Chain A
Amino acid sequence: MKERITYIVQDPDAFSPEQLVVKGDSITLKKVQAAKEQRITVGLDELPTELRKSLEQWHELHIRWSSSIPYSASPPFTSRVTPGLHVFFTPLRDQPEGDLCNLLHLALGSELQCDSMSEASTKMPILSERFSMSASSQYYSYLDSLSNLVNFIQKRVCKSKACKESAEVLLSATYVDIDYDAISHAVVLSAFTATAPATGYWDETISVTSELQSTEVGVLTYEKNPDPEDIGFGGFLTVLGQDQAPKPTRFQTPTRHYPIPSDSANYKISFARPTGLHPTLSITFPSSHLTPPDSTCKLHTYLTLPSYLFVDKYQFNDALYLASNNLKSLRSIAGAADLEAPDWVTPEWGSAALFELAVPKSGDIEESSVEWNATIPLHLRYLPAADHSHTTVPAPWPVVFWACRAEEGTKMAVNPFDRLHLGYEALFGPRTRFMHISPIRSGGETDGLVEWIDVPVLDLKKSQWVEIGTIGTVIVAFIGLCWAMFGNAGGRKTNGGNAKEKKKQ
């Protein structure tokens, strides 16, 4: 078991080396304002048998969870995924798939909609054949908190008190990645926390525990001026139990997720109200920040749509229609695509769509400093009848990023902070650099990066007359029509002439 803890100091000017004290086997941080990534690597043989067995059924398994609370990213941790739980995996070849749903229910919560992973998951579209690093299948569910996972780790994985305590870290994490693959035979768990909980700074002591083979602590600041393809850091590294003092360091690395130059660029997601059965998702930018960082950059959004929401891909064939929504194209769509099925007969988790967005022409930007809007018309599936009139469902915010051409794609993997398996990279070539735009809440609202949609459903409280009323009406109508054909010609709908005729008969 190995641990690597990285602090990225938010304000380099407010940081001095005196805030770090190494004493024996431990390091103490004093009021360090920083983002923190904690990464633990566990060998498969260090895990409990049942967990090891269920992992060994997979070729690779990548879990990405992101909180819905907005945060500001610090390089190198600028990549983003839609809030919720993402699972990317590849089954072992020539072997029956393991019961992944069961594992997810056990570890992450029984409320996850997943009966059988072979039905609930969808195949990842691979636009770039040579990009072989992608997993084959995808699953997603909106999940607000990792409290179930913390419980699971504490009860089923931890052997020591220290382990149980550190599992609590996941509760305040901004995002958490869990990676397993059959080749490395290890599980890597990374938890990223954008700002220290409660106080906003870290005041803590990290010591070596018996379980850990090594613990490395880095306190780094981001430095802006290396090669345009790279990002650089300076700061201090300490290997606990080995180093007597923090060791100064400076390095630079190519990176897949590059920080965006202007940090004020951001976007908001909203739905035109009322949403009805056809909610229109709107992505709003301050148009002044929509200049491509580089001429090769294209603006994209990647939507992770739970099964009750879907896009009709055929709508996006028309250039005028795309333009009227400020869209360039629907680059990729995968998953539950049935345009008619109600939610309860859709076994898949949902669908994922990649759109390229139009950007204002450079002339337009100067003229108007107003907002730029891209809209994506969505549709709702019917949800099960319930004992209320509306069912509220989450619509997590999509991620928005520039995808740009990179000179040295293959070297990105040497980045010690490289983050893969986010769903959308597989839709681009390997020489692609992603520059993420930050989502921000428009003031006042307390919710996170998720919209809640009220879906009208059949209200069973009012339905007691429907069955008898419908069937009764049909029977009465049927009898009435038979009467019109077989009954006396002078029935209900008689006119004078017919009545006379009847008397004659």
Chain B
Amino acid sequence: MALSSFFSSTRAVLSSAILLRVAFLLYGLAQDAFSPVKYTDIDYFVFTDAARSIARGQSPYARDTYRYTPLLAWLLYPTTWSGTWFSFGKVLFAVGDIVAGWMMYRILRTHQGLSQERALKYASIWLLNPMVATISTRGSSEGLLGVFVTALLWAALSRRIVLTGFFLGFAVHFKIYPFIYAASIVWWLDDKSNSSSSSSPISRTIKFLNAQRIGVALSSLLTFMGLNVVMYIAYGWPFLEHSYFYHLVRIDHRHNFSPYNTLLYMNSSPKASGVDHVSFLELERLAFIPQILLSAVIIPLVIAKKDLSSTMLAQTWAFVTFNKVCTSQYFLWYIMFLPYYLPDSVMMRSPRTGASLLVLWILGQAAWLQQGFQLEFNGESTFIPGLWISSILFFGINCTILGFVLRDIRTRGQSPLFGKRKR
């Protein structure tokens, strides 16, 4: 079969992935040159403006809405050179995409033992995904994040401890949310020579604090704090303010996929006189509790030792789903873990389940987008019930998918530790 011979060739898949991105890049250049509606992502102008600030010897935070590490602006320094170099960042992001996809393939081959053809098929979820290719060629930095996170997973699986810590620290510096992976990686790093007879809490603690765990903790902390100190010395308070604190205190009032969005708008807006609105506890302030409990505590503790890469998928999915702000580029954060989870998943064992969940996920977004369009462009007040109901529905759908994933990983063959505890 033509298709199977296609997927049996690494060269064919990789060159298709490259061609896809080259085509998108060129198309984007053409659209930008001839149409007032730009292909290039607005964020890309933010990054490149920040790079220009740096080139002028200023702080990247001179550009409004630049809320990233200065490293990103430095990475894009060549975009300040001249005409065609402006696209350098997009090329960099697209190359990052390919590298991430290739690493996925390697992880599937080496650590999950998939055949070349199956590994290529699953890596193509990333490599040949038009959504992924569009996002990076439009100049969104999520693609670059894919490289770091995939490299983190690869380093962890190959037990390259210092490298794991380095990528972890770097990824957290770059985008904060990868801190959730610290829990799963650390928990997963058991001593392989497992003579599990110790029982006293002290000896178990000592056993828990093995060299690998301490190594990851130290190297990630060093990388993270090292980068922060350097950036703080170079750019001072604005660095901390824009790349960290802003993300911690921000309340994004503009409508987004988060289930909390309507509530946040409602409770943060000043009360008009005469309107008797009782918000009993402002419980939305506690939204981080279920989010962090699930993504950084419960999920890693329960399933990390069974399957690290699938655990990271579940963690990310939980983190994004329970987040107070959620836009569609966040979906990329968990899509990059799908290739590892899917091969042995209930979604592939029962294609009907898989297909239904996928359709539900798409329909949930479509319903929300339709309501969002009615608000944004037709000026209909769809906040309640339209947007609220559809964000709650989408939240429910994501939780259902997550439930399937979690149960799937959990029942996938008991690890010695959990088998023991159950008995």
* Interface positions of A (Cβ within 8 A of B): 274-278, 314, 317-318, 320-321, 323-325, 337-340, 342, 344, 382-387, 389-390, 454-460, 462-463, 466-467, 469-471, 473-475, 477-478, 480-482, 484-486, 489, 491, 493, 495, 498, 501, 505
Contacts and interface: CB of A to CB of B under 8 A. Distances in A.
A477 B322 CA distance: 10
Contact of A314 (B45, B262, B268, B404): B45
Interface in B249-288: 252-254, 259-260, 262-263, 265-272, 274-275, 277, 279-280, 283-284, 287
6 contacts: A383-B269, A459-B384, A467-B263, A478-B293, A485-B410, A498-B411
Given A274-B377, A456-B380, 16 more contacts: A321-B38, A382-B253, A386-B275, A390-B379, A456-B383, A458-B383, A467-B280, A469-B392, A470-B388, A473-B259, A474-B322, A478-B293, A481-B318, A482-B298, A485-B298, A489-B410
Contacts of B253: 342, 382
Contact of B262 (A384, A386, A458, A480): A458
B332 to A, nearest CB: 21
Contacts of A389: 381
Nearest to B380: A456
B376 interface: yes
Nearest to A342: B253
Contact of A384 (B272, B298, B410, B422): B272
Given A458-B266, A460-B266, A493-B403, A485 B36 contact: no
B262 A466 contact: yes
Contacts of A321: 36, 38
B254 A340 contact: yes
Contacts of A457: 381, 383
Contacts of A474: 259-260, 287, 290, 322, 395
A342 B376 contact: no
Contacts of A386: 272, 275
Contacts of A325: 36
A463 B36 contact: no
B42 interface: yes
Nearest to A494: B407
B384 A466 contact: yes
Interface string B35-48: 11010001001100
B28 to A, nearest CB: 14
Given A382-B254, A489-B410, A501-B411, A481 B379 contact: no
Given A278-B376, A484-B406, A477 B396 contact: yes
Nearest to B40: A318
B313 interface: no
B95 interface: no
A385 B402 CA distance: 33
A62 to B, nearest CB: 30
B263 A470 contact: yes
Given A484-B406, A484-B407, A477 B399 contact: yes
B303 interface: yes
Contacts of A491: 407
A495 B266 contact: no
Interface residues of B, number: 70
Is chain B's binding surface mostly helix, strand, loop or mixed?
helix
A266 to B, nearest CB: 28
Contacts of B293: 478
Contact of A278 (B275, B346, B377): B377
Given A317-B45, A473-B392, A474-B290, A344 B270 contact: yes
B350 interface: yes
Contacts of B271: 384
Q: Which 7 A/B pairs are nearest by Cβ-Cβ distance?
A: A324-B36, A389-B381, A456-B381, A384-B269, A458-B383, A477-B399, A484-B403
Contacts of A342: 253, 268-269
Given A470-B260, A485-B299, A385 B381 contact: no
Given A314-B42, A320-B36, A459-B383, A340 B65 contact: yes
B284 A470 contact: yes
B270 A384 contact: yes
Contacts of B38: 318, 321
A501 B294 CA distance: 26
Contacts of B407: 484-485, 489, 491, 493, 498
Contact of B303 (A317, A383, A485, A505): A485
A462 B277 CA distance: 11
A364 to B, nearest CB: 19
Interface string B393-423: 0011001101110110011000000000010
B237 interface: no
A470 B259 contact: yes
Nearest to B252: A340
A274 B64 contact: no
Contacts of A344: 268-270
A481 B266 contact: no
Given A340-B252, A478-B290, A493-B403, A277 B376 contact: yes
A491 B269 CA distance: 41
B382 interface: yes
Contact of B272 (A387, A467, A477, A481): A387
Contacts of B236: none
Contacts of B35: 320
Contacts of A463: 262, 266, 277, 384
A276 B372 CA distance: 11
A486 B270 CA distance: 42
Nearest to B250: A340
Contacts of B34: 320
A382 B402 CA distance: 33
B205 interface: no
Contacts of A480: 399, 403
B385 interface: yes
B99 interface: no
A460 B275 contact: yes
Contacts of B265: 382, 385, 458
A413 B262 CA distance: 56
Interface in B297-321: 298-299, 302-303, 318
Nearest to B423: A505
B307 to A, nearest CB: 14
